A and B are shown apart, each in its own frame.
Chain A
Amino acid sequence: MQRKPLFLQGARDTLPILIGVAPFGMIYGVLAVKAGLAVAAAQGMSVILFAGSAQFMLVQLLGAGTPWFVAVASTFIINLRHALYSASVAPHTQRLSPLWKSLLAYVLVDEVYAVAITNFERSAPRGGQHWYMLGSGLALWAGWQAGTALGIFLGAQIPEGLSLDFTLVVTFIALLVPTLKDRPMLLAALAAGMTAVAANGLPYKIGLLLATLVGIVVGLWSERAWQKPG
């Protein structure tokens, strides 16, 4: 009954995030083209995977000639955190039809989760809030696809020799630094980074997976080391 206003409100509340997400999608598009991906594959990845940092990582892995099973396993690990979003949203979607559930799952990325869960918790008793989440999800989706398309177009115009592969590094630094909120997070990042450098020569490009595991173990271990009473 109040679907349309809710849908539009969700989209409107996502617009400020789009200002950051669309350029991010554009950089992804440029990098994908520069890594040798075909236009269809670069845009296809944005449609099929629809996941920011995982797409950047995949482009890097594809450019390095990583075997398919390592590339797929790496994406799985980096996107596993979406299971937590899924668990957190689930109580608010349990009465919806399978079609709605499958739609909302498709747009359940970091930004949409953040916008939607706040709204679910605030407005749940009023009902119909899945329309709000769909509005947020489709707005972000459209911005991501448009950013990707523009990046693919630009990537083909920009000449070689501008060290554009380094944009991956600075983009990831911009994403990494805000996550280093406490000592376990910092130690996890350092341990994973050093493992990845040391493990660079390992076969099947397995270094990234190994490094991620080491980072998780070091993070969990240092939590216990520092949070012990006394």
Chain B
Amino acid sequence: MAETWLIILLSGLLTYGIRLSFIALHGRWQPPLVFQRALRYVPPAVLSAIILPEIFLPAGLPDFSPLNPRLLAGILAVLVAWRTRSTLLTIVTGMLGLYLVQWLIR
């Protein structure tokens, strides 16, 4: 519990520091270009690095079967996200897809 608060406080402080950084510097210094280019890849890398283990390692155990319910529901969610660009629709169809597959292969 104490560690949870430590993590929240430190993460919050660091995040605030990042947001304040250049504002506090009065815009006198701009970040180097390679840094800007590298940061472009952080969102897709982090998101994917959380998604794939959650799909292929449910409860920490590997499941690479094509009938893995999380894999099937995940593919459905990717398709919906790609076609509709709607966050809410992706979440809803992804979850319903998971329930459907779980019910079918039970």
Contacts and interface: CB of A to CB of B under 8 A. Distances in A.
Q: Do A and B bind each other?
A: yes
B62 to A, nearest CB: 8
Given A62-B4, A220-B38, A208 B49 contact: yes
A9 interface: no
Contacts of A216: 38, 41-42, 45
A177 interface: yes
Interface in A159-195: 163, 165-180, 184-186, 188-195
Contacts of A218: 41
A38 interface: yes
Given A84-B36, A192-B46, A169 B55 contact: yes
Contact of A189 (B4, B20, B45): B45
Interface string A17-32: 0001001100100000
A223 B36 CA distance: 13
Given A84-B31, A172-B51, A192-B48, A37 B78 contact: no
Contacts of A177: 78, 81-82, 85, 90
Contacts of B70: 166, 169
A197 interface: yes
Contacts of B11: 48-49, 54, 58, 71-72, 75-76
Interface in B39-62: 39-57, 60
Contacts of B85: 177-178
A80 B48 contact: no
A170 B1 contact: no
B15 to A, nearest CB: 5
Interface string B85-105: 111101100110011001000
Nearest to B26: A94
Nearest to A74: B46
Contacts of B36: 84
Interface in B1-35: 1, 3-12, 14-16, 18-27, 30-31, 34
A140 interface: no
A218 B56 CA distance: 22
B45 A90 contact: no
A173 B90 contact: yes
A54 B34 CA distance: 23
A208 B46 contact: yes
Interface in A181-230: 184-186, 188-197, 200, 207-208, 211-212, 214-216, 218-220, 223
B51 A178 contact: no
A60 B51 CA distance: 11
B50 to A, nearest CB: 6
Contacts of B30: 87
Given A166-B94, A189-B44, A200-B57, 17 more contacts: A48-B9, A77-B42, A78-B46, A82-B15, A87-B31, A90-B23, A101-B20, A166-B98, A169-B74, A170-B94, A173-B47, A174-B81, A174-B90, A185-B44, A208-B50, A212-B42, A219-B45
6 nearest interchain CB pairs?
A215-B45, A170-B94, A90-B27, A193-B52, A48-B12, A219-B41
